[in-house]
Amino acid sequence: MSKKPPADKQRAAEAAVLQELRPGQSVELLKALHILTREGKLNQDSRRKLKQVYHLFQLVEPLLQDLSKDGHAPTLADHGAGKSYLGFILYDLYFKPLGRGHIYGIEWRAELVEKSGQLAQHLGFERMAFLNLSVADSTEAAELPERIDMVTALHACDTATDDAIAFGLQKKAKAMVLVPCCQAEVAACLRQGKALQLARTPLAELWRHPLHTRELGSQITNVLRCLHLEASGYQVTVTELVGWEHSMKNELIMARYTGQKKRSAAERLRAILQEFGLEQALGARFGLSA
């Protein structure tokens, strides 16, 4: 039995890869993002990355579909964009075939902003823009439109997630997709008042040990964020983004604007701040007066 010529083998390998991709997906982009190898092949590692990409897209796609109804051109701001991994994938899989809409990648590291701009230009992704700004500074940036439909922030460290939420509220975002990371602020506050709280309540045992202080601080922070969003008129879903970028920080907060501000959420937000002695430090950030 004769062996296939090398060219035939290459074509067969390329066809096998294309069967695992979505129709029209850019192979060149996937190579640039290291989801495919330089030869355009899938190995075990890249196949796992591709699965993660599709998992995230399946979660975000219904929100984008809602934002695109009646011919609307959706706008999306991706905060702490890094190499703009998320922005490129969303553009390639959704915005490119849609034929309208705009993605803004916001990143404070100038070299990453420059590289993302070059890649977008090379791929012909004309409706992508990259801004060298911090999340906090982007709220007043003239380069961004007055309204933004969707805000994303994956692994925005510590208070940058709160800045992204504040950005979304000011821009009247209809949806937010957040994966918080490395929350340290609340843990620091808990450490300061630990001795007093241990004398006051046995519940302080929840954060007596340093590791528990860090974990509880992260948990409290995300609960406060969800309550803040609900008090601001959003319906909130919390789920897990398994395996994304090999990170343990997999809590995914998805918020969809309904306009129904929950008074009970604001009340519980204040009660939690008071219970943990956080009202003075964090009250203003979460929309409560001192």
- The pLDDT > 90 percentage for the chain reads 54
pLDDT given for residue 106 in this prediction: 95
Pick the CATH number of 21-182 from 3.90.1150.10, 3.50.50.60, 3.30.470.20, 3.40.50.150: 3.40.50.150
Q: So what's the pLDDT on residue 209?
A: 95
> What is the band of 246 on the pLDDT scale with cuts at 50, 70, 90?
very low
**Mean pLDDT throughout 261-266?**
96
Identify the pLDDT of residue 74. 98
**DSSP letters spanning the chain:** -PPPPHHHHHHHHHHHHHHHSPTT--HHHHHHTTSS-TTS---HHHHHHHHHHHHHHHHHHHHHHHHTGGG---EEEEET-TTTHHHHHHIIIIIHHHT--EEEEEES-HHHHHHHHHHHHHHT-TTEEEEE--HHHHTT-TTS-S--SEEEEEEEETTHHHHHHHHHHHTT-SEEEEEEE---HHHHHHHHTHHHHHHH-GGGGGGSSHHHHHHHHHHHHHHHHHHHHHHTTEEEEEEE-TTGGG-S--EEEEEEE-S---HHHHHHHHHHHHHTT-HHHHTTTTT---
* Tens digit of each residue's pLDDT (9 = 90 or more) over 20-79: 788 888 989 988 988 888 877 777 777 777 787 788 889 999 999 999 999 999 999 999
